[in-house]
Amino acid sequence: MAVIEAKPLPLTSKVAVEKDDFQHLVTVAQKYVVQEMQEGKLKKLLREAKKTIADLKTKIESLVAELAATEDELTQYKSVRS
């Protein structure tokens, strides 16, 4: 990790840094912003995926129950025919 040395300027509350250090700081800040944006997008996609999974689990449970009811009905018809 690079250490950026800030030198106080006389008669102000501002500081001065070397141009290379400033460019390095800008580059790191830009990379951080891009990373945060990507992380936000990934979190949104993860939430959507979890919702889709929950919806699919609910649909599967519904279909399994419907299948069981249909199998019971088929069993009743088979027993009547026998």
Q: For residue 13, what is the DSSP state? A: S
Give CA–CA dist 23/20, Å, rounded: 5
Q: What is the pLDDT along the chain (82 residues), one digit of tens a residue?
A: 677 777 877 778 888 889 999 999 999 999 999 999 999 999 999 999 999 999 999 999 999 999 999 999 999 888 877 6
Residues with Cβ within 8 Å of 2's Cβ and at least 6 positions away in sequence, in order, are 21, 24
Q: What is the pLDDT of residue 52?
A: 98
Q: What is the pLDDT of residue 77?
A: 87
Global pTM reads 0.60
